[in-house]
């Protein structure tokens, strides 16, 4: 009988004692309620329900006392009894979560705790209980006074029947047809899902549509805070949209503080994309004042895509006015600088260049790279070309990629010269490859002739180093990929010169 009703209630009493002593999450408490849950579950496998009757100091099951404790302070019987609870049953299907919630409630020590009320509001699915009201309060009630009045009741009745045009012969059949029953059930299922906040918002907005009332606006503002706390940006936007109709009200001003905005870092990394999207909509209501905090918030973003979205949103907040970002360009934090520059990239303004000027040769490569991205957005190829001589390879590659994208044909001969220079051979293959990409992008027809020359060039002593140039040329030709060019490569693959044939083969394979 180790898992019977007696054992269960005794373990429950012990668990309550330990929870009161420590805390529900304390390991000692866990040592009590984990096995308790197991015992209950085992018992409920064979029995649909365990039912306990509560007396002042005694708890019984099926008429037998299974718990007795006379000490008021420690007796769970007394604690429940005092709160009017006369009966508790655990029903098969009880979840661990429910048991914990139940233990938490009945372990509360304070004398003002209303255990019955909390149990009611706990809305347990597998714990039933029965409560009686305390009898100590005097409630007097009596039959309402009745004085016979001098009224012609029959005349009144006729008057009502006439006024309402009631036809007593009409039968009333209140039965629901099957389809009506189904309709009603669907409506009930929907009503059970109703959630207070969205409903109240609809109502309050509907009210404001008829009349502007300050108290209603205040309630909406309070709900807005609730929504923000709950990360419910969808409903928050509904409120903000409505309140924005009033020129004297700025519903979001309250949230444009550093602590609140930095507090959104959980949102920008949320696993729930919808929440993030709604958050983006929400910050579009922010003013320029929020920009410095939003830029700082960006530094917490873990996903590149989200970071880009945030930057775009801030660009929107800046309303295409880059000057609002000027102050941030003096920041010492590299992340802040990078983000600010990136945002400027989304604001296509001529002032941007002037603002970025002092940072063009910033010692940090990340910043120079970001500037190239902005310059690309602004189509400033001449500026970008300057970075071909940058000290950092990553910056140079970025510049080459940008020039590839922009199609800056003026640079073609410059590129060709650089490729043919001796120093070119000292570059990494990745950068060399970008040079060829850039050459192809900006080269027109003439480039094929140049590449063919480099690929098939006759070199004395079969200089090994030159094979890299053949490879790069062959790959560039393969990228161009027209039928004529591919034929050329196929022929090249059959050449006796090993370095030529292998370059061609490789390029064709990669194709």
Stretch that binds other proteins, among 123-131, 253-261, 371-379, 394-402 (CB under 8 A): 123-131
Residues 461 and 439: their CA atoms lie apart, in Å, by 28
* Binding of residue 184 to other proteins (CB under 8 A): yes
Exactly one of 190, 444, 445, 464 binds other proteins (CB under 8 A); that residue is 190
CA angle, residues 92, 96, 101, in degrees to nearest 5: 105
| Nearer Cβ to other proteins (178/247) | 178
Tell the smallest beta-carbon distance from residue 169 to other proteins (Å): 11
| Nearer Cβ to other proteins (134/379) | 134
Exactly one of 25, 169, 206, 332 binds other proteins (CB under 8 A); that residue is 206
* Binding of residue 141 to other proteins (CB under 8 A): yes
Tell the smallest beta-carbon distance from residue 76 to other proteins (Å): 21
From residue 204, alpha-carbon distances to 44, 76, 213, 252, 264 in Å are 47, 46, 10, 18, 27
Exactly one of 23, 26, 45, 62 binds other proteins (CB under 8 A); that residue is 62
Tell the smallest beta-carbon distance from residue 5 to other proteins (Å): 10
Stretch that binds other proteins, among 137-145, 422-430, 454-462, 482-490 (CB under 8 A): 137-145
Exactly one of 2, 71, 136, 192 binds other proteins (CB under 8 A); that residue is 192
What the block records as the tokens of 455 is 């690929």
* Binding of residue 204 to other proteins (CB under 8 A): yes
| β-strand pairing of 127-131 with 58-61 | unpaired
Strand partners, 212: none
Residues 462 and 504: their CA atoms lie apart, in Å, by 17
* Binding of residue 175 to other proteins (CB under 8 A): yes
| Nearer Cβ to other proteins (35/93) | 93
- Interaction with other proteins in 208-247: which residues (CB under 8 A)? 210-211, 213, 215-216, 219, 222-223, 226
- Interaction with other proteins in 270-329: which residues (CB under 8 A)? none
| β-strand pairing of 49-54 with 58-61 | antiparallel
* Binding of residue 458 to other proteins (CB under 8 A): no
* Binding of residue 47 to other proteins (CB under 8 A): yes
What the block records as the tokens of 218 is 């205040």
CA 216 distance to own-chain centroid: 29
Exactly one of 41, 128, 284, 497 binds other proteins (CB under 8 A); that residue is 128
Tell the smallest beta-carbon distance from residue 93 to other proteins (Å): 8
CB 285, CB 252: distance < 8 Å? yes
Stretch that binds other proteins, among 177-185, 246-254, 323-331, 427-435 (CB under 8 A): 177-185
In 3D, which of 104, 99, 89 has the Cα closest to residue 48?
Answer: 89
* Binding of residue 441 to other proteins (CB under 8 A): no
* Binding of residue 200 to other proteins (CB under 8 A): yes
* Binding of residue 41 to other proteins (CB under 8 A): no
Site string for other proteins, 75-94 (x = CB under 8 A): ----------------xx--
In 3D, which of 437, 429, 430 has the Cα closest to residue 407?
Answer: 437
* Binding of residue 65 to other proteins (CB under 8 A): no
* Binding of residue 97 to other proteins (CB under 8 A): no
Residues 376 and 186: their CA atoms lie apart, in Å, by 57
Instruction: Give, as one character, the DSSP assignment of residue 425.
Output: G
| Nearer Cβ to other proteins (1/166) | 166
Buried b (16+ CB within 10 A) or exposed e, 71-95: eeeebbbbbbbebbbeebbbbeebe
End-to-end CA distance of the chain: 77
Instruction: Classify residue 268 as exposed, middle or buried by CB count within 10 Å of its CB (0-12, 13-18, 19+).
Output: buried
Site string for other proteins, 333-372 (x = CB under 8 A): ----------------------------------------
Residues 484 and 45: their CA atoms lie apart, in Å, by 79
Residue that the structure tokens 């009966």 belong to: 87
């Amino acid at each position: 009988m180790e898992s019977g009703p007696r054992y269960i209630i005794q373990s429950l009493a012990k668990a309550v004692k330990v929870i009161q002593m420590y805390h529900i999450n304390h390991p000692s408490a866990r040592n009590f309620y984990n096995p308790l849950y197991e015992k209950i579950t085992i018992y409920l496998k064979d029995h649909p329900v365990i039912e306990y009757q509560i007396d002042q100091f005694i708890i019984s099951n099926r008429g037998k006392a299974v718990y007795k404790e006379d000490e008021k302070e420690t007796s769970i019987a007394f604690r429940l009894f005092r709160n009017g609870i006369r009966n508790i049953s655990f029903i098969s299907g009880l979840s661990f979560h429910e048991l914990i919630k139940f233990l938490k409630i009945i372990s509360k020590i304070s004398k003002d705790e209303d255990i019955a009320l909390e149990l009611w509001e706990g809305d347990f699915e597998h714990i039933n209980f029965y409560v009686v009201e305390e009898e100590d309060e005097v409630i007097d009630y009596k039959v309402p006074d009745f004085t016979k009045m001098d009224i012609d009741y029959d005349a009144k009745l006729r008057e009502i029947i006439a006024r309402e045009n009631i036809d007593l012969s009409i039968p009333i059949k209140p039965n629901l047809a099957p389809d009506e029953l189904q309709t009603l059930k669907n409506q009930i299922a929907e009503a059970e899902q109703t959630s207070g906040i969205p409903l109240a918002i609809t109502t309050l907005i509907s009210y404001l549509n008829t009349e502007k009332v300050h108290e209603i606006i205040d309630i909406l503002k309070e709900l807005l805070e609730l929504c923000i706390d709950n990360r419910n940006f969808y409903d928050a936007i509904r409120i903000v949209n409505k309140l924005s109709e009033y020129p004297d009200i700025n519903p979001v001003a309250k949230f444009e503080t550093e602590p609140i905005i930095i507090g959104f870092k959980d949102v920008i990394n949320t696993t729930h994309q919808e929440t993030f999207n709604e958050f983006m909509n929400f910050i579009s209501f922010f003013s320029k004042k929020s920009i410095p905090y939003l830029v700082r918030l960006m530094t917490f973003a873990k996903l590149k895509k989200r970071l880009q979205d945030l930057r775009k949103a801030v660009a929107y907040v800046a309303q295409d006015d880059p000057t609002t970002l000027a102050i941030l360009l003096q920041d010492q934090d590299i992340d802040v600088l990078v983000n600010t520059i990136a945002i400027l990239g989304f604001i296509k303004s001529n002032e941007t260049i002037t603002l970025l000027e002092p940072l063009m040769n910033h010692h940090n490569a990340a910043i120079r790279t970001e500037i190239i991205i902005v310059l690309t957005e602004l189509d400033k190829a001449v500026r970008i070309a300057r970075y071909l001589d940058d000290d950092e390879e990553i910056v140079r590659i970025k510049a080459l990629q940008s020039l590839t994208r922009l199609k800056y044909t003026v640079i073609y001969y410059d590129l060709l010269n650089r490729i043919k220079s001796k120093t070119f051979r000292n570059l990494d293959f990745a950068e060399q490859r970008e040079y060829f990409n850039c050459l192809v992008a900006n080269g027109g027809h003439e480039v094929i002739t140049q590449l063919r020359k480099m690929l098939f060039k006759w070199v004395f002593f079969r200089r090994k180093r030159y094979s890299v140039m053949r490879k790069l040329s062959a790959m560039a030709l393969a990228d161009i990929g027209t039928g004529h060019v591919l034929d050329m490569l196929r022929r090249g693959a059959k050449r006796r010169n090993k370095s030529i044939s292998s370059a061609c083969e490789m390029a064709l394979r990669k194709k």
